[in-house]
C-alpha cells in the first residue's frame, strides 16, 4: 500500500536546467495536485488535475508544466530552473469528497 510516491527526494539543479518531478498514486484517485512549500508561505498550489487528460493552473503556475496521461501519474516539469524555484515540492491526491494524501516531498535546490 504505497499511497503517493514522489521521486526524487532531493535534487540540485543548475540555473537553466530542466527536470521532471515524478508523482504516482495507487489509490485510483481522480484528483491530483502539486504544491510548493516555502518558509512562512504555507502550501501554495502550482497545478492540479481532476482526471486523466484534464489539468488546470493553481496560484503559482509560472515556470511549471504538467500533464496527466494516466490516473496514476502526475509529473511536474520545470522548463528552465531558476533560483526562485528552490523549494520543497509536494504532490497530493484525493478521491471526490475525501481526504487528501500527500507524498513525502522533493527538496529542490537551484544554484
Partner 1 sequence: QQQVKQSPQSLIVQKGGISIINCAYENTAFDYFPWYQQFPGKGPALLIAIRPDVSEKKEGRFTISFNKSAKQFSLHIMDSQPGDSATYFCAGRSGGSTLGRLYFGRGTQLTVWP
Q: Which residues of 28-46 are buried (b: 16+ CB within 10 A; e: fewer)?
A: ebebbbbbbeeeeeeeebb
Taking CB under 8 A as the binding criterion, the range among 14-22, 25-33, 62-70, 73-81 that sits at the site for partner 1 is 25-33
Give the residue, chosen from 50, 71, 72, 77, that forms a contact with partner 1 under the rule CB under 8 A.
50
Taking CB under 8 A as the binding criterion, the range among 20-28, 69-77, 79-87, 97-105 that sits at the site for partner 1 is 97-105
In whole angstroms, the minimum distance from the beta carbon of 103 to partner 1 comes to 5
Residues 94, 31: Cα–Cα separation, whole Å: 5
Is the dihedral angle over the CA atoms 17, 86, 95, 104 positive or is it negative?
positive
Residues 87, 41: Cα–Cα separation, whole Å: 11
Give the residue, chosen from 34, 36, 48, 108, that forms a contact with partner 1 under the rule CB under 8 A.
48
Q: Which residues bind partner 1 (CB under 8 A)?
A: 4, 30-31, 33, 35, 40-45, 48, 50, 58, 90, 92, 94, 96-100, 102-105
Amino acid at each position: 500500500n504505497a499511497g503517493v510516491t514522489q521521486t526524487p527526494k532531493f535534487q540540485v539543479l543548475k540555473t537553466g536546467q530542466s527536470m521532471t518531478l515524478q508523482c504516482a498514486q495507487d489509490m485510483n484517485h481522480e484528483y491530483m495536485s502539486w504544491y510548493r512549500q516555502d518558509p512562512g508561505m504555507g502550501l501554495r498550489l502550482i497545478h492540479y488535475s481532476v482526471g486523466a487528460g484534464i489539468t488546470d493552473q493553481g496560484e503559482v503556475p509560472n515556470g511549471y508544466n504538467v500533464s496527466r496521461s494516466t490516473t496514476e501519474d502526475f509529473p511536474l516539469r520545470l522548463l528552465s530552473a531558476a533560483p526562485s524555484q528552490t523549494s520543497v515540492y509536494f504532490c497530493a491526491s484525493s478521491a471526490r469528497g475525501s481526504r487528501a494524501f500527500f507524498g513525502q516531498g522533493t527538496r529542490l535546490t537551484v544554484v
